[in-house]
Amino acid sequence: MMVALIFLFLNLVASPFKSKSRLEAENVALRHQLTMAKKTIPFNQTGISKLPIDKPVVYRIQSDGGKNNYTGVAQRGRAQERLEEHLPKGKDPIPGAKVQIE
């Protein structure tokens, strides 16, 4: 336990002195995580059924050209249900060709 605390303290003291190449590598890794977190699917029943149900999402319903028609938030477990409400035969239809989720 004491060794872990010493290691944590040393990391905190040394962190402002990271090399430029290490910071660039860390930046690349974080950018990769961001791009992997975004996903674009077709705005139809088949595309919506492929969405994760285990996490909350921010979704953007977009036109073919990428114009944002609507931005919404769905709680954990409700992403599919919320997007189905916006399909043409849903209770709150919104025109769109694709959905981008984060």
The whole model's pTM is what? Answer: 0.64
The beta strands (E) that lie in the chain are given as 39-42, 57-62, 68-74, 98-101
pLDDT of residue 54: 82
pLDDT of residue 97: 93
For each successive 10 residues of the chain (102 residues), what is the average pLDDT? 76 73 79 73 91 85 92 90 92 92 85
Domain boundaries, the chain: 38-102
pLDDT of residue 85: 93
DSSP secondary structure letter of residue 65: T
